[in-house]
């Protein structure tokens, strides 16, 4: 009996001690210090520490300078390379932190309204329709097992690139009474099928029983341009087909300048929209090479200045973005890029690419009056905080058009094929 009481007392003491330890400030600070730190040349990184803890570099390379205060340590990144920082308590090593300094990296912020023209790989099936034949209404496409969202890439061994490629095969097969050999691309992979066109007795022509499309167009906002390579990123989210709701598989495409003609103001349940037109000359300013969850990407063949911030800015990695005031660049009238105030409500330091890294809220009275918040067509508007490009606007909250999501800029740069982590020669620690 006494032994049982002693066990309970010891257990209670251990539990109280554990809870106290969890809330012990030096322990909290120790746990909050990351195992690795990545910064760009010329930047600082500061973390809090308990007073008895000291920091020292394992190598005396000049790429990093430490500045120690009583309760904090600042890492000054002088030049690219690697190093190790050792934290000691009473002369005993307690934690090792890997420090990597990346070469200074800058991009031009966007904000311009752009027109987007996408050409699909093959022709996209966006619906079925019934053909009025002498034997009743039928859809040859549906009979062949073709679904909405499928892409027809080949007919009778020949590559299909646009809608006009399809008609001659359909009429020829219908007249010969032979089925077409189709290659279909679907999310699960490619497969082959046979389709026999049927004659529409009302029009006396042969048809597939499918609605197809080979291109799409819309507007969005430029996010960044890499001045050395002319690579760009825009939109911050994937372009999906309006009918199938599936991402468009891009063969190629073009971007052109566009002009905002009016704004449909957003409200609860209705996010609103920018109404715009392509520039009158339809001059192509760049190509589209990729349509991904992080936006569209390609290369420019013309200079595209925003007229407000035309000097390259440094970027912030996801762990460097802070909650608090920021700004976006976007167009709400004609082709004039303007700067508006927002608040970064929350941000997630991400180790791996993800599309939703920030929650933002429009706070600028002028923008709220004009648009009601975030509207369609604003996607891709660059987010700038403390003089650094940190991300892009991607989505609006339908029930609160003043707020929405943003994506961290490092993931868009990664999708553009720009390696911000590459350094000519890392200095070993």
- Catalytically active residues, by annotation: 237, 364, 379
Rounded Cα gap, residues 291 and 364, in angstroms: 31
Is beta strand 92-102 parallel, antiparallel or unpaired with respect to 36-40? parallel
Q: How long a stretch of residues is the chain? A: 429
């Amino acid at each position: 009996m006494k032994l049982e009481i002693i066990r309970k007392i010891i257990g209670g003491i251990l539990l109280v001690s554990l809870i106290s330890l969890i809330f012990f400030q030096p322990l909290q600070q120790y746990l909050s210090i990351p195992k690795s730190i990545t910064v760009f040349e010329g930047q600082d990184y500061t973390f809090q520490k308990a007073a008895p803890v000291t920091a020292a570099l394992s190598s005396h390379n000049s790429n990093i300078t430490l500045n120690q205060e009583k309760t904090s340590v600042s890492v000054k990144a002088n030049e690219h390379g690697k190093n190790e920082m050792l934290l000691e308590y009473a002369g005993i090593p307690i934690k090792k932190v890997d420090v990597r300094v990346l070469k200074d990296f800058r991009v031009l912020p966007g904000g311009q309204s752009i027109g987007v023209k996408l050409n699909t790989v093959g022709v996209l099936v966006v619906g079925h329709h019934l053909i009025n034949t002498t034997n009743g209404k039928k859809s040859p496409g549906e009979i062949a097992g073709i679904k909405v969202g499928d892409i027809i890439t080949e007919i009778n061994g020949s590559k299909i690139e646009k809608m006009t490629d399809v008609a001659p095969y359909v009429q020829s097969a219908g007249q010969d009474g032979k089925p077409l050999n189709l290659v279909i691309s679907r999310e699960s992979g490619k497969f082959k099928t046979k389709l026999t066109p049927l004659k529409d007795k009302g029009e006396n022509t042969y048809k597939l029983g499918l609605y197809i499309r080979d291109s799409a167009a819309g507007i969005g906002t430029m996010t960044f341009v890499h001045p050395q390579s002319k690579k760009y990123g825009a939109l911050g989210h994937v372009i999906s087909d309006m009918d199938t709701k599936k991402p468009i598989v891009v063969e190629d495409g073009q971007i052109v300048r566009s002009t905002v003609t009016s704004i449909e103001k957003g409200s609860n349940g209705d996010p609103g929209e920018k109404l715009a037109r392509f520039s009158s000359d339809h001059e192509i300013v760049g190509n589209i090479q990729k349509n991904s969850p992080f936006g569209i990407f390609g290369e420019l063949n013309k200079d595209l200045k925003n007229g407000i911030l035309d000097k390259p800015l440094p970027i912030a990695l996801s762990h460097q973005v802070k909650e608090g005031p920021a700004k976006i660049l976007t167009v709400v009238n004609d082709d004039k890029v303007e700067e508006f105030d927002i608040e970064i409500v929350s941000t997630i330091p991400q180790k791996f690419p993800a599309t939703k890294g920030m929650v933002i809220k429009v706070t600028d009275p002028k923008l709220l009056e004009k648009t009601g918040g975030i509207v369609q067509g604003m996607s891709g508007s660059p987010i700038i905080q403390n003089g650094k490009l940190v991300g892009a606007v991607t989505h609006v909250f339908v029930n609160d058009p003043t707020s929405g999501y943003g994506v961290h800029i490092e993931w868009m740069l990664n999708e553009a094929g720009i390696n911000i982590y590459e350094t000519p020669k890392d200095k070993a620690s």
